């Protein structure tokens, strides 16, 4: 573990987007309402840190859209265009934080950190966790470099890639079910275990220049279950989807009917990625009969340990990238798997037959 400590003055840009950390009671429930300055005023500041606040938008994160994520991406790059800024902190709702964090990370080229945080309990409540999370996020943004986009929550530091919301209401809301956190923060220090592996960052998509006016590609998510058939998969194709994420069972398995639907989609130039509804572990080519072996043969790409929401972001990023259409599949493969991932090796089934006694001969 490394203790990173630097007492030089640090200037952080805080981008406020809403979420529980900015939510107040509306008479029937909570909704994002507080300005970024109100969110900041509720928290203490780490020593030697000054903060500039940008109110980008103020929405519950279930209302996050790709257009808003492009707006956020542009705002981050505009903040880092100022050489006097040492890092960026984003307050964000927890429901879709994993998607925004991964989208930003795929396009993050700067050694200065971008840190996302939020809250599970609203601003102004006696037990609000927002002020503590914001303090920690500012501490991390003022202390680290070269780690990409990070998620800081409940005293832990997570990489964007693979980190998902794993608990609906508890304070320790985020983790990567398939890997350890990067480190922890507390008592004025930031401890990190490792540097996250990240694919080569993408250039800003052209759509980020005027995201409100952009016609963004449709990317749908379809889940397999015991009685599933390809009806919804083909409905997504009919609706104009240019990418589909198939959330399969087990290590990435579906049925022969889905295999045929995947083949049809790939032949039409649609990007298809296969993840799993299982919380942890990689998808792998193990089973035929509609399993991952057949899905890959039909043209689908496996996602390593990425789950549905971040897989969808990878597909969207590949579609928005300034590359030739025939190069998008290979680009998506790189974004999905990442540089450190190694596909599991198939282990043949053991021979369970009872061995013949020594010296036995055929009758």
Q: Tell me the catalytic residues.
A: 20
Spatial contact of 36 and 14, defined as CB atoms under 8 Å apart? yes
Return d(Cα 92, Cα 20) in angstroms, integer: 8
Classify burial at 215, counting beta carbons within 10 Å of its beta carbon; exposed 0-12, middle 13-18, buried 19 or more: exposed
Token look-up 């998902």 returns: 164
Cα 77 to its chain centre, rounded Å, is 19
DSSP letters for 249-317? BTTTB--HHHHHHHHHHHHTT-EEEEEESSSSS---S---SSSHHHHHHTT-EE-TT--HHHHHHHHHH
Return d(Cα 284, Cα 307) in angstroms, integer: 13
Max Cα-Cα span within the chain? 89
Q: What are phi and psi of 18, to 5 degrees?
A: 110, -145
């Amino acid at each position: 573990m490394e203790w990173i400590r630097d007492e030089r003055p640090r200037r952080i840009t805080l981008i406020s987007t809403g979420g529980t950390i900015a939510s107040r009671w509306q008479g029937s429930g909570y909704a994002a309402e507080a300005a970024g300055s109100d969110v900041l005023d509720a928290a203490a500041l780490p020593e030697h840190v000054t903060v500039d606040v940008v109110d980008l938008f103020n929405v519950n994160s279930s209302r996050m859209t790709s257009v808003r994520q492009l707006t956020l991406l542009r705002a981050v790059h505009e903040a880092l265009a100022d050489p006097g800024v040492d890092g960026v902190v984003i307050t964000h709702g927890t429901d879709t934080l994993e998607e925004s964090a991964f989208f930003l990370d795929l396009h993050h080229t700067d050694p200065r950190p971008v840190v996302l945080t939020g809250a599970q309990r609203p601003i102004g409540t006696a037990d609000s966790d927002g002020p503590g999370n914001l303090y920690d996020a500012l501490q991390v943004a003022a202390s680290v470099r070269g780690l990409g986009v990070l998620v800081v929550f409940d005293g832990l530091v997570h990489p964007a890639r693979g980190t998902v919301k794993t608990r609906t209401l508890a304070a320790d809301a985020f983790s990567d079910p398939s890997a350890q956190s990067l480190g922890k923060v507390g008592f004025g220090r930031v401890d990190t275990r490792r540097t996250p592996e990240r694919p080569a960052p993408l250039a800003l998509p052209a759509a980020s220049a005027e995201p409100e006016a952009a016609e963004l590609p449709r990317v749908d998510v379809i889940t397999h279950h015991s009685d599933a058939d390809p009806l919804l998969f083909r409905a997504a194709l009919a609706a104009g989807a240019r990418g589909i994420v198939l959330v399969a069972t087990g290590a990435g398995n579906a049925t022969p009917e889905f295999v045929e639907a995947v083949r049809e989609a790939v032949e039409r130039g649609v990007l298809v990625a296969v993840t799993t509804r299982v919380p942890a572990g990689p998808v792998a080519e193990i089973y035929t009969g509609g399993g991952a072996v057949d899905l890959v043969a039909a043209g689908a790409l496996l996602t390593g340990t990425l789950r549905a929401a971040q897989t969808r972001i990878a597909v969207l990023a590949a579609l928005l990238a300034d590359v030739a259409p025939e190069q998008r599949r290979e680009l998506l493969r790189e974004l999905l798997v990442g540089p450190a991932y190694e596909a599991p090796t198939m282990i043949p089934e053991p021979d369970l037959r009872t061995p013949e006694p020594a010296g036995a001969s055929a009758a």
